[in-house]
Every structure is written in C-alpha cells, then in structure tokens.
C-alpha cells in the first residue's frame, strides 16, 4: 500500500509499530464437514453435487456452535487419555431435519486428521445396538421388561471358534430381568437373546432402521452383533434411536430445506418402542453399573445408551427426548485405542452439553411407557419377573402390554418346611443357575433336614415368616428395654384382611397390610401365633428370650 502511494509515510510507520495478534484458523461457516459433503454430492443419492449457488441447510446455527464448542471443551481433559476426535449429530424427531453436524471438533486440525467426517465414518457401535436386540425379542418372542434372562457362563460354537461373552465388570449376575439387563448393559443376556432371535432377523431389523453400513452376511456377524461387532455410522445409529423416540416410526434424515421429505415407515410396534424408552430413561435401573449422578441424569427425562467398542477404540452416547435425538462418537481417526475411556466418561459429557443446548426453548413431552395407552403396570416378583406369591419377599411394578395373559406364579421363591411347625422362604433356581447360585451364596433351600427330605409348604398360607421356630434372643442390659422390640413378619394371603399376632395366647398387635408387627422382648419361653379375624391360625413359632 505504501509502495503504491495509497498510504502516507506516517501511516506506514504507525502500521509497522502495531502489534500482531495471530489467531487460530477457525471456520467462518457452520458445519464445514456437512457443507463439503453436500458440495461433493456424498450425502444422499437424491442430492446432486452442488458446484455453485446457495444451499439452505437444516442446520440450526446456534446449536451447531454449541455442539462444536462442547466437543472442543470435552476433549481437552481427555487428551491425556489419547483421545483426539469427537463427532456430534442432532436430529429433529418430528421432521428428520439434521440440526447439528459436527464431523470433528476442529476442521483445520490436520495433525489429528480432523477433516475426516466422524458423522459418516464406519465404526463399531459397542453396546448401543442392544436396545434393538431386546426390542425385536419383545416383538417376536413375547419378551417383556420383566422377562428373566440368563447372565451366567455362556459358550457358543461359531464359525470362527467358541465364543464366550463376558460382562464389562467381568461378573455374572444370574437371572436378570430384561430391564436390568438393558439398563446396566450386561453383555451375556444380550448375546443370549440374540441367539434366540437368530442372526438373519436381527440383521434385517438393523437394516430396517437404516444401518446400511452392515453389508456382510448374517453369519459373518453372528450373535456378537448384539455387542456391536459390525460397523455403522454415527448418523445411521442416531437416526435409529430417533425411530424409538418416534414410537417405532423410521423417518429418513434431511439435510437441506429444499429437499423433499421422504416417506417414513413403521419399524417396530409402538408399545415396544415405549418400553425401550422407559428402560433407557430409568435412572434407578442403571444404578448398579453407572452409579449416582452420572452424566446421563439431566434436568428433564432423557432416554440414553452408551457403548464402547473392543479395545477402547470407539465410544458412544446416543439418546433422545420426545423432541430431539443426539448422537456422540469419541475416539481417534487413525483407529488407535483410547486409554480406558468409556462411553460414560468420553462421549457422555458432550452428549449432556449438546442435549441441554438442543432442548433450550422446548418444553419436554413425556417419554416412556406411561405415554402409551397400550401398556399397563403389573405387579411382579423382582427375582423371577413372574406373578408374586406370599413367598416373595417384596414386589415391584413393571410395564407390560395390556393384552398380556395372566402371569404364572413365581417359581423362584418357595416355602420349605424346616421343622415340625416352621417354614421358611428360600430361593429355588432352575438347574442351569445352580453353579452361579452356589458361587454367589444365594439363599437356596438345603436338600435335606435332619436326614429327611424337606416338604414344600403352601405359598398362600398364613404363616410367621420371621422369627424362625426355635430361635433364641438375648436382652441387652445396657440398652433401654423400650428399644428392644422384635419385628415379627407375617405372610398372609392377599384376601386375609387384618392380621393379629398372639404371644402366649394374648393379642399384642395387629396389622392391616404390611403384616409386620413389633413385640417388646420379655424373658422366658414364648409361643407366637398369627391369626386372621375369621379365625384362621398359623403354625406356632416357639422362641426363647434370655
């Protein structure tokens, strides 16, 4: 400018004295990976390459910026764990519009290959495919959220040799209800369920959900597909979860405002999608694996699932509200392993930040089973998932299709006579659980008592469940007598009404429903009997207090 005499000598000298502030290259346009893919015509066969002109994308610019920032911020502390890349996609459930598209956290980071597009890269999805396995089992095999699945040692003969899946915690958990198995992401029940479905039907279902990247034959993947032994894209996976959010309706994604809306289709029953959403949002069900206050707990209901591929090469968090679905992948574009980073610690924090940003200004509508008129709550035994009896210690409520037939009575809790006048509730497992029950020190019935076979009692009779006949207690002289009361638990049929406890012939307390009464300990031999208002009596229980 000075040489051309556009500025004066004074302005030239002043300009030379001004300090220079070098800024890092950042894109001045949103969603650079998406724009590049649109320009090349790589996204959708129906979208031709765009060499010139204006493209009106579906991207929400503010949300795009939030997603890019969330990926950048989350990766900083993960660098020491050898994590260099993150990708994010956000889909509007009602329209299928892609609202945010982050192929990588920094388009200009050539060191870490960040011009690769992680939204469309094929990677192993880990446990994020499990909801679709269980959903298909509900649809085809009649499973419910209460169906008990085996989490015990399992070995399958595959074409590549014996396959024995292990859980993330390297433990077996015995009989587990489907809700527990999915919420805690246990591997063994998922693989077992996949064997019951069959390789081809499972692969067909994933294809129906848009996972066209799975191009091999069914036996190539086998039941290990339930654990993500195949490759899909983040975009495919996220839109498959959006189908659950839409109550089983698959809608192709849309990238530009000018593109016509494709016709969607139903891929799973509404009731199945509602139960899957209910499990995936169930904080209590996943506590044993994820603990309290995980990143999946948001200020509103969110159904979410994490996944980690073999060798910690990929981890994911995908989830939805009624309004939006968010998918996050974290890993390295060169395929190298992360240092023990899981979906909850890697992709999870990004998912949380993006989901909160995506829900700004929206009022969350209910998701889960309560939003479906096709489901009802049934009382079940938490161990067996069957109709509870008085031998079951407690019960839970579970969502099931309204048309579900009457449940069979629980067979995993049974009363066993342990003396002339006493019975006790024990756990009774099928033979395949015997080794697990022994190793886990479960409360199973002994085979004999005093050399004689044990007799099974009625699960519906009136009985004193605790204390046991012949039990003895000591009064602690150092404690006030008023604090030393014995809780007496009485099992009674559901129609028993008010139940009383007699001690040495004298009525001392009554209970309307819980059938737990407290009796003040007194020295001596005592006889306890439970009775109903109609005169039905339990077998006597004799105890000694010293």
Nearest-5° Cα angle at 199, 194 to 202 = 70
Greatest alpha-carbon pair distance for the chain in Å reads 118
The pLDDT value given to residue 459: 38
| Token duo for residue 481 | 């007598």
Q: Which of 105, 128, 129 is nearest to 116 (CA)?
A: 105
Residue listed under structure tokens 């969350």: 364
| Token duo for residue 206 | 């994933």
List C-alpha distances in Å: 533 to 218, 504, 506, 537. 63, 18, 14, 10
| Token duo for residue 318 | 């995908």
Q: Which of 525, 247, 485, 467 is nearest to 370 (CA)?
A: 247
- What pTM was computed for the model? 0.76
Q: Torsion over CA of 362, 363, 366 and 368, rounded to 10 degrees?
A: 30
Instruction: Classify residue 29 as exposed, middle or buried by CB count within 10 Å of its CB (0-12, 13-18, 19+).
Output: exposed
Pairing between β-strand 122-123 and β-strand 232-233 as defined by DSSP bridges:
antiparallel
Residues 6 or more apart whose CB falls under 8 angstroms from that of 360 comprise none
Q: Which of 541, 461, 459, 534 is nearest to 498 (CA)?
A: 534
- Cα 82 to Cα 104: distance, rounded to the nearest angstrom: 16
Pairing between β-strand 524-532 and β-strand 499-503 as defined by DSSP bridges:
antiparallel
* Secondary element (H or E) of residue 437: helix 434-439
Phi, psi values for residue 332, rounded to 5°? -135, 135
**What is the set of domains in the chain, with CATH numbers?**
100-112+115-371 (3.40.710.10), 461-546 (2.60.40.10)
Nearest-5° Cα angle at 255, 252 to 260 = 65
| Token duo for residue 275 | 């139960």
Three-state DSSP state, 482: helix
What pLDDT tens digit does each residue of the chain (546 aa) get? 999 999 999 999 999 998 876 655 454 457 888 888 888 777 776 666 666 677 889 999 999 999 999 999 999 999 999 999 999 999 999 999 999 999 988 776 666 555 789 999 999 999 999 999 999 999 999 999 999 999 999 888 776 778 889 998 889 999 999 999 999 999 999 999 999 999 999 999 999 999 999 999 999 999 999 999 999 999 999 999 999 999 999 999 999 988 888 889 999 999 999 999 999 999 887 766 666 667 888 999 999 999 999 889 999 999 999 999 999 999 999 999 998 888 788 899 999 999 999 999 999 999 999 888 899 999 999 999 999 998 998 899 999 998 876 788 999 998 887 777 778 899 999 888 988 998 999 998 776 544 333 333 333 467 787 777 777 677 766 556 655 777 787 877 666 677 888 999 888 877 655 567 778 888 899 998 988 877 788 888 888 888
| Token duo for residue 81 | 């764990």
- Cα 240 to Cα 372: distance, rounded to the nearest angstrom: 20
Three-state DSSP state, 545: strand
The pLDDT value given to residue 544: 86
């Amino acid at each position: 400018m000075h040489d051309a005499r556009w500025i004066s000598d004074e302005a030239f000298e002043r300009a030379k004295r001004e300090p220079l502030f070098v800024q890092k290259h950042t894109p001045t346009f949103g969603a650079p990976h998406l724009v590049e893919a649109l320009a090349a015509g790589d996204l959708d066969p129906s979208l031709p390459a765009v060499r010139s002109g204006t493209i009106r994308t579906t991207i929400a610019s503010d949300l795009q910026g939030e997603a890019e920032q969330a990926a950048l911020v989350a990766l900083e502390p993960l660098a020491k764990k050898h994590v260099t890349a993150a990708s994010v996609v956000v889909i509007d459930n009602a329209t299928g519009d892609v609202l945010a598209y982050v192929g990588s956290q920094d388009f200009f980071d050539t060191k870490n290959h960040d011009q690769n597009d992680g939204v469309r890269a094929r990677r192993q999805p880990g446990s994020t495919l499990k909801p679709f396995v269980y959903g298909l089992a509900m649809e085809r095999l009649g499973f419910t959220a209460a169906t008990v699945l085996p989490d015990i040692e399992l070995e399958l003969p595959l074409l590549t040799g014996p396959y024995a899946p292990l859980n993330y915690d390297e433990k077996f958990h015995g009989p587990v209800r489907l809700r527990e198995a999915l919420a805690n992401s246990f591997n063994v029940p998922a693989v077992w369920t996949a064997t019951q479905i069959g390789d081809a039907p499972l692969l067909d279902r994933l294809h129906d959900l848009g996972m066209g990247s799975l191009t091999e034959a069914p036996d190539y993947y086998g039941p290990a597909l339930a654990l993500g032994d195949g490759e899909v894209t983040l975009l495919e996976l996220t839109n498959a979860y959006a189908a659950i959010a839409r109550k089983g309706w698959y809608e192709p994604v849309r990238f530009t405002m000018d593109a016509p809306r494709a016709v969607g289709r139903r891929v799973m029953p509404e009731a199945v999608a509602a139960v899957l959403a209910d499990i995936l949002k169930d904080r209590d069900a996943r506590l044993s694996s994820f603990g309290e206050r995980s990143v999946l707990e948001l200020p509103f209901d969110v159904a979410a699932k994490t996944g980690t591929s073999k060798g910690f090469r990929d981890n994911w968090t995908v989830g939805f509200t009624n309004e939006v679905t968010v998918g996050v992948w974290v890993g390295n574009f060169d395929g190298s392993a992360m240092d023990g980073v899981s979906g909850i610690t890697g992709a999870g924090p990004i998912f949380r930040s993006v989901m909160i940003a995506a829900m700004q200004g929206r009022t969350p509508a209910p998701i889960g089973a309560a939003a479906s008129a096709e489901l009802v709550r049934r009382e079940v035994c938490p161990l067996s998932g069957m109709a509870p009896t008085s031998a079951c210690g407690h019960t839970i409520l579970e969502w099931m299709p309204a048309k579900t037939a009457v449940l069979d009575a629980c067979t995993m809790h049974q009363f066993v006579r342990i003396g002339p006048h006493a019975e006790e509730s024990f756990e009774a497992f099928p033979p395949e659980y015997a080794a697990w029950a022994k190793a886990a020190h479960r409360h199973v019935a002994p085979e004999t008592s005093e050399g004689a076979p044990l007799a099974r009692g009625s699960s519906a009779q009136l009985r004193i469940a605790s204390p046991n006949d012949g039990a003895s207690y000591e009064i602690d002289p150092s404690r006030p007598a008023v604090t030393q009361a014995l809780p007496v638990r009485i099992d009674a049929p559901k129609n028993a009404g008010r139940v009383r406890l007699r001690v040495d012939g004298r009525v001392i307390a009554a209970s309307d429903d819980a059938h737990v009464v407290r009796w003040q300990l007194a020295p001596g031999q005592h006889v306890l009997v439970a009775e109903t208002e109609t005169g039905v009596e339990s077998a006597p229980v004799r105890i000694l207090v010293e």
